[in-house]
Amino acid sequence: MMARFTRDYLVMLDERIDTILEQLEHGNDLNVHVALLSLESSSSMIGATEMVRLVNALRDAVERGQRTMVPALAVAIANEAELVHARFRSR
């Protein structure tokens, strides 16, 4: 069961991140918040702890209105997604 969840997580990861970034660009903070909570939860379920940390940091920055931090965190999340793919694909 967990192997399937992990596979589904990996299949959808890039699209989920793209959607979050798109919603950030459009200023849809509520949609961003919900999507980040979902990504944080599913990342935690598969053990992607660094992704959890980064997603939590981005959510915190958005909630606090710290927009200057968003671009760097978005890049870090995209980079971490590549590492997550590499780390979990072989499981």
- Domain of residue 62 covers 2-89
pLDDT number for residue 17: 97
User: Which string of DSSP letters, residue by residue, matches the chain?
Assistant: -HHHHHHHHHHHHHHHHHHHHHHHHTT-HHHHHHHHHHHHHHHHHHT-HHHHHHHHHHHHHHHTT-GGGHHHHHHHHHHHHHHHHHHHHT-
- How many structural domains are present in the chain? 1
53 contacts 83 by C-beta, under 8 angstroms: no
65 Rama sector, left if φ>0, alpha if ψ -120 to 50, beta otherwise: left
pLDDT (mean) for 8-35: 96
CATH number for 62:
1.20.120
pLDDT tens profile 41-61: 999 999 999 999 999 999 999
pTM, entire model = 0.93
